[in-house]
Amino acid sequence: MLNQSKWYTQKTRSTDFFTISERLSQYLRRDFSSIQDIIKELFPMSYDRRLPRDVPLVESLAKQHSIWYRRPPARTYALPSGDELSQNQERTLSRLYRALDVDGVMRAINEMVVVQSTVLGVVMPQPGTNLLQIMTFEPWECEVDPAPLQSSDVQACAREGEFRFRIPVSSSFDRITYGIMRISSERAVYNYEGKEIGIYREDGSLPEEFNGQVPIFSCRLGLPYKGDFFSPLKTDIYDAQVAVSIGFSDLDFAARFGAWGQKVVTNATRPELEEMVLGPDRIVSIMDDQRFEVVSPQSKLDDYQKSQEAFLKYTATHNSLNPAQFTSSGQATAVSKMLDLHDRDSIRQDQVLALRKCENELYAALRLVLNAGIRAESWPSATVSIDYKETPLPENKLQLQQAARMEFEDGVSSPARQLARQQGISMEEARRQVAENLEEYRAVRSILEEEGGE
């Protein structure tokens, strides 16, 4: 007998998960068409007079946080014995990674996982060719039957369930037709209009070289709930994007339709009103007991606008974005900048851990398909180590020069020592260059002083 009477013995997954995932995907690509659908539901009587006022909050979050793979990383491969792959294999892998544009694929995965929390990838042959391709899928594009006790493990889910992906099967200028790609540890087929076509073998079975595994890899930020494959979506970012877009659209609507005056005539009959012609070059004649006036609404939008900007500012701040990009804020202090960089660094280090795990799963998936292509265990299992290169921050040369001068005055360093470190030369050569530079500077300065005296 359970003491926890509120424990669920069964839980049904909400379809809102896939709807929100699809809309987050659209917002990442700056497609805000779904916002108009929400506006129609909220304002059925005035939606056609409301203009879109969208702020790319989701895209800004993805772009500012996903900095990896903008500069190509360095990869090394280590065998279980600790040895490295042979030079021929590393050169072959390097050419294959370039052909598959792995850096570009991983850069896109980095942006998607920041927003979606879970991204899947499949290494598969291009139909009708001997070439390979990597297809990536966001949660709304796939279904997974998770293994109950190993729900986050790709291979366990393939053994106990199935992966279903939506893929395009035909495309024209006005429409795209989709089919289903079904992959499990036993079969891998395209399913369209009741027909099944094998992916890796014509009969839909998996090659023996797969050893019961599937060439699927995942990238995940955050832990999924027990029994679920996907990590929870960032619904706060979704809600913020919807709230900001609708709020600014409503603010614009209120400003536009609250800025004109309503003409009012008192004690006039309907025929008299219908005969009145109003305009800037017209004179309106009224009776003594009638009154004509223009009534302007007192729309107080300042508080509404301040509320919108405050929400946008706090949303940006608590997601380690720069609020100055969205709102007018004061000058950031040096301490606040350092704290901001520290917060972003912790977020990016979480990404590094997730991306390294994803790279290892990608190599394992690629290895399966390569071995199946040559029908031999030529490509061994290996651990991929990635050395990521962060984009350097812009330097403030004036501050650097001031800091260097303070080090010279405090005796911490010297011009010759700094020059030797910058150019990688010996101290003797650095002292000689500094002496020559000083002598040349004195000569130029004396000439300028003589010309100024004349």
- Can you give the pLDDT at residue 288? 79
Residue with the two structure tokens 């007079």: 49
Distance CA(56)–CA(344), nearest Å, equals 19
Count the Cβ atoms, other than its own, within 10 Å of residue 154: 22
At CA 370, angle to CA 365 and CA 376, rounded to 5? Answer: 120
CA torsion through residues 344, 346, 347, 353, sign: positive
* Residue 321: how many other CB atoms lie within 10 Å: 21
Please give the sequence-ordered ranges of beta strands (E in DSSP) within 140-202, or none if there are none: 142-144, 163-171, 176-183, 188-192, 195-198
Taken in order 166, 170, 171, 176, is the CA torsion positive or negative?
negative
Give pTM, 2 decimals. Answer: 0.76
What distance in Å separates the CA atoms of residue 241 and residue 248, rounded to the nearest whole number?
Answer: 11
CA 403 vs CA 353, 397, 416, 421: distances in Å: 35, 10, 15, 16
Buried/exposed 283-307: b ≥16 CB within 10 Å, e otherwise: eeeeeeeeeeeeeeeeeeeeeeeee
**Both structure tokens of 319:** 């997601």
Model pLDDT, residue 283:
78
What CA–CA distance (Å, rounded) separates 241 from 27?
8
The amino acid that residue 132 corresponds to is: L
Instruction: Write 58-62 long-range contacts (CB < 8 A, 24+).
Output: 58/24, 58/27, 58/28, 58/115, 58/237, 58/238, 58/241, 59/27, 59/28, 59/29, 59/30, 60/321, 60/325, 60/326, 61/114, 61/115, 61/237, 61/319, 61/321, 62/28, 62/111, 62/112, 62/114, 62/115
| Backbone dihedral region for residue 28 (phi beyond 0: left; psi -120 to 50: alpha; all else: beta) | alpha
Question: Quick one: CA torsion of 321, 325, 328, 330, rounded to 10 degrees?
Answer: 60
First-to-last C-alpha distance (Å) of the chain: 105
Measuring CA to CA, how many Å separate 249 from each of 46, 136, 309? 12, 34, 13
Helical ranges in 82-139 per DSSP H: 87-100, 102-116
Which SS3 state, helix, strand or coil, does residue 295 take?
Answer: strand
Which sign does the torsion angle of CA 399, 404, 408, 410 carry? Answer: positive
Beta carbons of 60 and 325 less than 8 angstroms apart: yes
Strands (E) in 186-339, as ranges, are: 188-192, 195-198, 216-220, 262-266, 291-295
| 121: nearest Cα among 132, 105, 101, 107 | 105
User: Within 10 A of 199 (CB to CB), how many other CB atoms are there?
Assistant: 20
Instruction: List residues bridging with 292 in a β-sheet.
Output: 265
Residue spans of the domains in the chain: they are: 16-235+343-387, 261-295, 399-453
Smallest CA-to-CA distance from 217 within 119, 142, 150, 94 is with 119
Q: Spell out the per-residue pLDDT of the chain, length 454, in tens.
A: 556 666 677 777 778 999 999 999 999 999 999 999 999 999 999 999 999 999 899 999 898 888 889 888 889 898 988 888 888 888 889 999 999 999 999 999 999 999 999 999 999 998 878 889 999 999 999 999 999 999 999 999 999 999 999 999 899 988 999 999 999 999 999 999 889 999 999 999 999 999 999 999 999 998 999 999 999 999 999 999 999 999 999 988 888 877 667 778 888 888 877 777 777 777 777 787 888 787 776 667 888 888 888 888 888 877 777 666 555 554 555 445 544 554 567 788 889 999 999 999 999 999 999 999 888 788 889 999 998 887 665 556 666 677 777 777 777 788 888 888 778 788 888 888 888 888 888 888 888 777 766 5
Distance of CA 177 to the CA centre of its chain: 27
